[in-house]
Every structure is written in C-alpha cells, then in structure tokens.
Amino acid sequence: MSRAAAARFVLVLIVLSTGCSLISPAATSDTEVSFTIAIDAGVFSAERPVRFVFWNAAQLEIAQRNANCSISYDAATEKEEVHCPEGVVYEPVTPHEFAFTRDEIGDRVELTPGNIYVGQRYRLQISGLSNDNCNSTSASVEEIARSAEVVIEDLMWMTTMMACPEPLGQ
C-alpha cells in the first residue's frame, strides 16, 4: 500500500470514528445537569404560574410503556380506572416540576432538576396561561444532556387559538 493510500485510509478511519462519537449518546454519568432556558415571559399571563416540567430517561421509558393505557373516570363512584393492553402494567410517573410567576422569570431561567444526568435523555415541557388570559402557550424539547450545563434557546412556542369570550361591557 502506498504512503498516500495509507494516509487516506487513516484519515477515513478518523473521520468515521469522530462522526460516530458525535451522533452516539454520551455515557451516562453521575453529574447533574443544570439548564439555562431563554424565555419571553411576556407571552404568559401574570395571573397564573408558568410550569417547567422535567422528565428523565427512566420516566420517559415508563411513560412510553404507559402510552397505550387509558384512564376512565366514573362520575357515579368518583373513581378512576386504568385500562392497559394485556401484558402492560400501568406505573404512575411524577416528573420534576418548577412553577414561577411571570414576574419571577425575566428573560432566562436557570434550573437544576436534580434527576437528570450528563448522557441521559430528558424532556422539558414549559407551559402556562397566555397573556390573553384565555389561551395556553407551551414549548417542549427532548434531547440527550451532553454536558453539565445545557442552554436551551429558540424553542418552538405554540399557542392554542380558542375563541375567547370578550368580557361583559366591552
């Protein structure tokens, strides 16, 4: 093999191994992740809290297993009943939640949920009453935490478009 061919071969191996390490998830560590989230607090109502809900990898896995289950409510007995497909056992999941008023938020929120670690998949859902005091505004992201400090910017915000009643006398 010529020297040039050997050099190309080594270069190809380096490129392939580098590319694989960039797209494969990092190994999970015991390092907790802190999040800095850019947010426009003005899209939310001052009357209700804005909720930041974090799901870790284990909770996401349980939620996925629960996805085909349904919960019905019997108004007569005032009890909920869980129905799952055969072989699926429903497990309740309680994600870590923070709630802040619009005035407490500013343009960035820094949070450490304490249940998400470097290398672990997570989901963050942010939601609250819109500034029109009728609709709901929300955004979510699901990623792998690749470092101890995760900065989340440019979220895709969604707002419901309900027909909100006008207050009387207007």
The residue among 138 and 71 whose pLDDT is bigger is: 138
Q: Is 89 exposed, middle or buried (0-12, 13-18, 19+ CB in 10 A)?
A: exposed
Tens digits of residue pLDDT in 158-169: 999 987 876 655
- How many Å apart are CA 20 and CA 11, to the nearest integer? 14
pLDDT band at 22 (very low <50, low <70, confident <90, very high): very low
Sign of the torsion formed by the C-alpha atoms of 33, 39, 41 and 45: negative
pTM of the full structure: 0.75
In 3D, which of 105, 152, 96, 153 has the Cα closest to residue 128? 105
| Fold of the CATH domain 25-56+95-159 | Immunoglobulin-like (2.60.40)
Tens digits of residue pLDDT in 72-128: 988 889 988 899 999 889 999 999 999 999 999 989 999 999 999 999 999 999 999
Question: What would the two tokens of residue 10 be?
Answer: 């080594």
Residue 28's pLDDT is 67
- How many Å apart are CA 126 and CA 54, to the nearest integer? 9
